[in-house]
Structure 1
Amino acid sequence: MKNFLFVAAENDALENCKAGGMGDVVRDVPRQISERGDRAHVIVPAYSRLHHGGLPKTTLNFSLRGLGYTAELYEVKPKKEFPNIFHYVLHHPEIEAGDIAHIYHNDPEEPFYTDAIKYFIFCTAVAEAIKKGAFGKLDVVHLHDWHSSLLLFLRKFHPEYTNLKDIRFVYSIHNLAIQGIRPFENNYSSVRNWFPDIAIDHRALMDYRYRDCINLMAVGIRFADAVHTVSPSYKEDVLLPSSPPEFIGGEGLERDLQKADAEGRLFGILNGCNYKNINKEKKGNIYRNTVKALFRWLQEESKKYKADFLAHTGEKIMEYVENKPKFIASSVARLTEQKFYFFMRSPEAFVEILKRLEKVDGIFILLGTGAPEYEELFRKLSYQHKNFIFTNGQSEKLIDSMYLESDLYFMPSLFEPCGISQMLAMRNGNPCLVHHTGGLKDTVEHMVTGFSFDGESYDEKIKNMLEAFDEALDVFENDKPKWKKIQASAKKMRFTWQKSVDEYYKQLYKTN
Structure 2
Amino acid sequence: MKILMVTSEIGTIAKTGGLADMVAALTRTLAANGHDVRVVMPRYRFIRRETMVRHEAPLGVPMGTSERWCAVYETELGAIPRATVYTIEHDALYDRDGVYGTRSVPFFEDNALRFALLSRAAFQVCRALHWIPDVIHCHDWPTALVPVYARTLENRTEFDSTATFFTIHNLGYQGRFSAADAVEFGIPAPELEKAGVVVSTGLNFLRGAIKSADCVTTVSEGYAAEITTPEFGFGLDSEIRARGDGVRGIVNGIDYDEWNPSTDPYITPRFDSDSLERKAEAKRSLQTEFNLPVDSATAVVGIVSRLAEQKGFTALCGPTGALNRIADEIPVQIVILGTGEEWIERDLEQLSAARANVSVTIGFDERLAHIIEAGADFFLMPSEYEPCGLNQMYSLRYGTIPIVAPNGGLKDTVKQVDPATTTGTGFFIAPLDSDGIFDTVRRAVELRSVSPDAIDTIRLAGMAERFTWQRSMENYIAAYETTVARVRAAGRDGISP
Does the 8 Å CA contact 1:61/1:71 hold for their aligned counterparts?
Answer: yes
User: What secondary structure sits across from 2:208 in the alignment?
Assistant: helix
Aligned counterpart, 1:130: 126
CA drift at 1:409: 0.5
State the secondary structure of the residue aligned to 1:399.
Answer: helix
Higher RCO (C-alpha 8 Å, min separation 6):
2
What is the CA distance between 1:130 and its match in structure 2?
Answer: 2.1
How much does 1:240 deviate?
Answer: 0.5
Closer/same/farther in 2, CA of residues 52 and 433 from structure 1, 3 Å limit: same
1:76 is paired with a residue of what secondary structure?
strand
Give 2:365's aligned residue.
395
2:226 matched to 1:226?
no
- Establish whether residue 506 from structure 1 lines up as the match of residue 497 from structure 2: no
Read off the aligned partner of 1:220 and give its amino acid letter: A
Which range moved further: 136-145 or 26-35?
A: 26-35
Tell me which amino acid in the other structure corresponds to 1:191: A
Matched ranges for 1:16-95 at <5 A: 17-53=14-50, 54-57=52-55, 58-78=57-77, 80-95=78-93
2:319 and 2:307 map into 1 onto residues whose CA distance is 15
Query: Which whole-Å deviations, capped at 9, do the CAs of 1:470-491 have from their partners, x for residues lacking one?
Result: 1100111110111001100111
- Structure 1 pair 196/254, CA: closer, same or farther in 2 (3 Å)? same
Distance 1:70 1:383 in 2: 53
Residues 39 and 206 (structure 1 numbering): CA distance in 2 closer, same or farther, change over 3 Å?
closer
Match of 2:188 among 195, 198, 212: 198
Residue pair 2:404, 2:410 contacting (<8 A) in 1 also: yes
User: Matched residues in 2 for 1:496 and 1:164: separation?
Assistant: 32
- Taking the aligned partners of 1:476 and 1:226, their CA distance within structure 2 comes to 45
TM-score (norm 2): 0.85
Residue 245 of structure 2 corresponds to residue 269 of structure 1? no
Number of residue pairs the alignment of both structures matches: 459
Residues 113 and 185 in structure 2, CA contact (< 8 A), matched pair in contact too: no
Specify the alignment match of 1:437 in structure 2: 407
Deviation at 1:33, TM superposition (A): 1.3
CA contact (8 A) 2:283 2:376 kept: no
Q: Deviation per CA, 1:95-136, whole angstroms, max 9, x where unpaired?
A: 33666xx322169999563322321222222221123335x2
1:103 counterpart = 2:99: yes
**Residue number in structure 1 paired with 2:176:** 181
> How far off is 1:509 after superposition?
3.9
1:452 paired with 2:428, answer yes
Q: By how many angstroms is 1:73 displaced?
A: 1.3
Give the match's secondary structure for 1:166.
coil
Aligned to 2:49, the other structure's residue is in SS state: coil
TM-score (norm 1): 0.83
Cα distance change, pair 177–108 in 1 and its aligned pair in 2 (3 A)? farther
Quick one: distance in 2 between partners of 1:485 and 1:289? 22
Give per-residue Cα distances to partners, 1:28-77, cap 9 Å, x unaligned.
Answer: 11222123211111222111231412101242112325333111111124
Counterpart Cα distance in 2 of 1:191 and 1:287: 56
Q: Deviations over 1:151-192 (max 9, x none)?
A: 22222222698433321110000010000011222xxxx112
Cα distance in 2 for partners of 1:433, 1:116 equals 38
- For residues 73-106 of structure 1, what are the alpha-carbon distances to aligned partners after superposition, in whole Å with 9 as ceiling and x for unaligned? 111243x31122112211110233666xx32216
1:240 maps to 2:229: yes
1:407 corresponds in structure 2 to 377
Q: CA deviation at 1:215?
A: 0.6
Larger mean CA deviation between 118-127 and 422-431 belongs to 118-127
Counterpart code for 1:472: A
CA RMSD for the aligned pairs?
2.6
CA contact (8 A) 2:388 2:410 kept: yes
Higher mean alpha-carbon deviation, 383-392 vs 138-147, is at 383-392
Contact kept, 8 Å, 2:316 with 2:434, in 1: the verdict is no
Amino acid at match of 2:4: L
Distance 1:197 1:274 in 2: 40
Contact 2:291 2:359 (8 Å CA) reproduced: no
Does 1:494 pair with 2:451?
no
Q: Contact 2:380 / 2:403 at 8 angstroms: preserved in 1?
A: yes
Distance 1:160 1:132, change over 3 A: farther
Mapping for residues 197-216 of structure 1, pairs under 5 Å: 198-201=188-191, 203-205=193-195, 211-216=200-205
Distance in 2 (alpha carbons) for counterparts of 1:159 and 1:432: 46
Unaligned runs of 5+ in 1: 243-248, 293-316
Distance 2:15 2:364 in 1: 12
Report if aligned partners of 2:132, 2:158 keep a CA contact under 8 Å in 1: no
Question: Whole-Å Cα distance in 1 between the matches of residues 104 and 148 of structure 2?
Answer: 26
AA matched with 2:465 = M
Question: How many Å separate the matches in 1 of 2:379 and 2:147?
Answer: 39
Q: Runs of 4+ in structure 1 displaced over 6 angstroms?
A: 107-110, 285-292
* Residue aligning to 2:239: 256
Counterpart in 1 of 2:265?
Answer: 280
2:383 counterpart of 1:419: no
Conservation of the 8 A alpha-carbon contact between 1:206 and 1:212: no
Q: Which amino acid letter does the alignment assign opposite residue 270 of structure 1?
A: V
In terms of mean alpha carbon deviation, does 331-340 or 57-66 score higher? 57-66
Q: Secondary structure at the match of 2:229?
A: coil
Superposed CA offset, 1:442-481 (max 9, x none): 01112110111133xx6xx332222211110011111011
Q: Distance in 1 between matches of 2:461 and 2:285?
A: 29
Deviation at 1:387, TM superposition (A): 1.2
**Identity between Structure 1 and Structure 2 (%):** 24
2:111 to 115, 118, 124: 115
Q: Distance in 1 between matches of 2:153 and 2:86?
A: 24
Say if 1:161 and 1:228 are closer, same or farther in 2 by CA, change over 3 A.
same
Q: What is the 5 A alignment of 1:458-477?
A: 461-477=433-449
State the match for 1:246 in structure 2.
Answer: none
